[in-house]
Structure 1
Amino acid sequence: MSRPTHVPVTTVTTSPRDTKALDAPWPFTGRADELELVRRSVAAGRSGLVVTGPAGAGKTRLVTEAVRGADCARAAGTPETRDIPFAAFAHLLPETVTLHRAVHLLSGVRLLLVDDAHLLDDSSAALLHQLAVHGRVRLLVVATDGAPAPDAVSRLWSGELLPRLALAPLPREDTAELLTAGADTALEPLTVDRLHRLGRGDLRLLRELLTAVRQEGLLVPVPGTDQRAWRGPVPVTRAVRERTARVLDRVRTEERETLDRLAFAEPLPLDPDLDALDLRTLEDLEAEGLVTVDGDGATRLAHPLHGPVLRAAAGRLRARRLARTADRTGPALEAE
């Protein structure tokens, strides 16, 4: 077989019915410096770049904008194919192939974008690593911070084969611009602040929250302005429930009780005499990353969305029992 000099870009098509089911994407907003950096990193004569960041931070959108209009082959890792050799590159390689042959076949690619590289199968990860070692292909690699990744992927930046861009959360000002475009109307500052805080840099979650608020008709006009505001509880839509299933669907009663206590009265002290929190249960929840304890022993829910969702999901009697006095629930409820 002759060595290919070009691998065609693979496109995905959808039916008209599927297209109608998809929401229009939000406009690319902010990150001008990062966009320019990515474009420079994949220019001719450069080896490429690894872009990392938290889930939902906009990594894929950034690199997609950076390569728009470029001759670019694409691959992506998925949880379902982590045990299938070369699954991520199946559309670019023959059915049966060795690592050496795969490196040879892809060496003619000018630019290769690999999304969700932390989900690559071991063979695909090894292939990606070898392409970086050989340096003939410009690589643009995307991986999620904190997610387990094959050693061959993490060594791309830890071994200094490729430079790394650690993507920071979108600043509040850019979040405001994005929300205005997504809501198709101006939002007043307190609403922007609240959505920005609850989203915690996760742009997918931010979109799901704004969609939930709009679907429930909770954006109300601000008198004398063209802005809209959101007050009251977080609507627990299907998307929001799926995002918070780790706290809403606790099997152990004592864990859910502890989370609910914190939701209505955080921060709570670690004081055995108060008998407010069970320390063993707290240890388990802290190990799962659901609660945090500071140096003074103040205990809080780890994610700002969990408290509002737990309060919204509580029944009236349960909420009445947990929300005993205003002085105890004030700090937890001040955002609402």
Structure 2
Amino acid sequence: MNRDDELRTVVSTLRSRRGPWGAVLTGDAGVGKTTLARAAVGAFAGERRWAAGTESARAVPLGAFAHLVGVSSPMDAASVLRAAREHLVADSADIVIGVDDAHLLDRLSATFVHQLAVNRIAPLVVTVRTGEPVPDAITALWKDNLLTRVELPPFTRAEAVSLVETVLGGPLEESSANRIFVMSEGNPLFLRHVVEGALEAGTLREVAGVWQLRGETVISPHLSTLIESRIDHLDPELRHVLELLAFQEPLSLEVLSKLSAPETVEAAENAGLVRVRRRDDSGLTVKLAHPLYGEVVRAGTGILAARRLRAGCAVRWRVRSRIIRLHT
């Protein structure tokens, strides 16, 4: 897992009787939050409980905990939370509770998690995806110092290459290591599927004891589905921003804001879908937050739609170039 330091930090919070009693793991999709949370919960000596937020359960009050608490009769919210708390700890006073994808919790479930932390009913390990709207009751867990926030960044290049070489059982060619890291950007889940896809396609092969990557990028069906699942839920305006960048990145913020509403570009940045950077004296530029987003978007775009997107970017770019020449 290559998260030994973070695992020790989380486990230590579960054993602490003073200060934050547990942790909130935050990070992008695929960085290993769930894996780390399950490892930490599994290291706990007592009883373990696990709940997860989902889009479907979000529509049901306390839906994420329905399998753990036996509340069925009609009650007011306060009575429901009290009965749920009592039912959860009825079998054992020594339990740990894991809550995955807490950003997807319904309001009552989020309040329930917050109450468990406030009343120190049990230590908690909670995961939250960066860039997603999060219930106030969940953000209060780390803002009010009820739980320790542990940010999981992507792997560094050295960590990513070391992991791949361990899996392959041999060294990676330098240029191939660079390509794999650029494609995955150190995201553990993306890294795994990039390597698996290349192995299955035969583009990653061992030659004279050194692993070499040749040919085009291969995206496994599972990885494509994972990325599509996030893109497909986007508003049409946000998806349009991704489509524009997939065919013509990087774009200047000025040009992109002409092709899409400025507030939509800002929303895309806040959601972690794009990155905005300053490039020398040319102002701000925008590119996709991950190169694999572009691969998936291009693969799912028809020929005519792709021509339209490229043409729209080209027209705006020519207009901008003429304006610059007129003022120089």
- TM-score over 0.5 for the pair: yes
Task: Indicate if the aligned counterparts of 2:251 and 2:287 stay in contact, CA closer than 8 A.
Answer: no
1:186-219: CA deviations, max 9, x gaps?
4223222322222224222222222221121101
Query: Residue 313 of structure 2 aligns with which residue?
Result: none
Worse-matched range after superposition: 304-313 or 116-125: 304-313
* CA shift in 2, pair 1:270/1:135, >3 Å: closer
* CA shift in 2, pair 1:127/1:229, >3 Å: same
Listed as ranges, the matches of 1:86-235 within 5 Å are: 86-96=62-72, 98-107=80-89, 108-183=93-168, 185-222=170-207, 224=208, 226-235=209-218
Query: Residue 305 of structure 1 aligns with which residue?
Result: 292
Q: How far does residue 130 in structure 1 lie from its aligned partner after superposition? A: 0.6
Q: Structure 1: how far apart are the matches of 2:167 and 2:50?
A: 28
Q: Structure 2: how far apart are the matches of 1:173 and 1:206?
A: 13
1:10-49: CA deviations, max 9, x gaps?
xxxxxxxxxxxxxxxxxx2x22221111111111625222
* CA shift in 2, pair 1:183/1:312, >3 Å: farther
Q: Structure 1: how far apart are the matches of 2:50 and 2:59?
A: 20
Listed as ranges, the matches of 1:9-48 within 5 Å are: 28=1, 30-43=2-15, 45=17, 47-48=21-22
* CA shift in 2, pair 1:300/1:229, >3 Å: farther
Letter matched to residue 279 of structure 1: K
Task: Indicate if the aligned counterparts of 1:183 and 1:210 stay in contact, CA closer than 8 A.
Answer: no
> 2:268 aligned to 274, 288, 301, which one?
288
* CA shift in 2, pair 1:188/1:141, >3 Å: same
Q: Structure 1: how far apart are the matches of 2:136 and 2:259?
A: 34
Q: How far does residue 251 in structure 1 lie from its aligned partner after superposition? A: 8.2
Task: Indicate if the aligned counterparts of 2:41 and 2:96 stay in contact, CA closer than 8 A.
Answer: no
2:25 is paired with a residue of what secondary structure?
A: strand
Q: How far does residue 135 in structure 1 lie from its aligned partner after superposition? A: 0.9
1:145-203: CA deviations, max 9, x gaps?
22112111111111222221112222222212322344455422322232222222422
2:150 is paired with a residue of what secondary structure?
A: strand
Q: How many residues align?
A: 282
Tell me the percent identity.
35
Q: Unaligned stretches of 5+ in structure 1?
A: 1-27, 323-336
Q: Structure 1: how far apart are the matches of 2:34 and 2:246?
A: 35
2:97 is paired with a residue of what secondary structure?
A: strand
Task: Indicate if the aligned counterparts of 1:191 and 1:230 stay in contact, CA closer than 8 A.
Answer: yes
Task: Indicate if the aligned counterparts of 1:258 and 1:278 stay in contact, CA closer than 8 A.
Answer: no
Q: How far does residue 255 in structure 1 lie from its aligned partner after superposition? A: 6.7
* CA shift in 2, pair 1:143/1:214, >3 Å: same
Q: How far does residue 81 in structure 1 lie from its aligned partner after superposition? A: 0.4
2:31 is paired with a residue of what secondary structure?
A: coil
Q: How far does residue 267 in structure 1 lie from its aligned partner after superposition? A: 4.3
TM-score (norm 2): 0.72
Letter matched to residue 280 of structure 1: L
Q: Structure 2: how far apart are the matches of 1:259 and 1:285?
A: 11
Q: Structure 1: how far apart are the matches of 2:101 and 2:235?
A: 29
Q: How far does residue 51 in structure 1 lie from its aligned partner after superposition? A: 1.5
* CA shift in 2, pair 1:186/1:251, >3 Å: same
Instruction: Give the structure with the larger helix fraction.
Output: 2
The root-mean-square deviation of aligned C-alpha atoms, in Å, is 3.6
1:227-270: CA deviations, max 9, x gaps?
211133212443454455449x9989x978844652xxx54567
2:190 is paired with a residue of what secondary structure?
A: helix
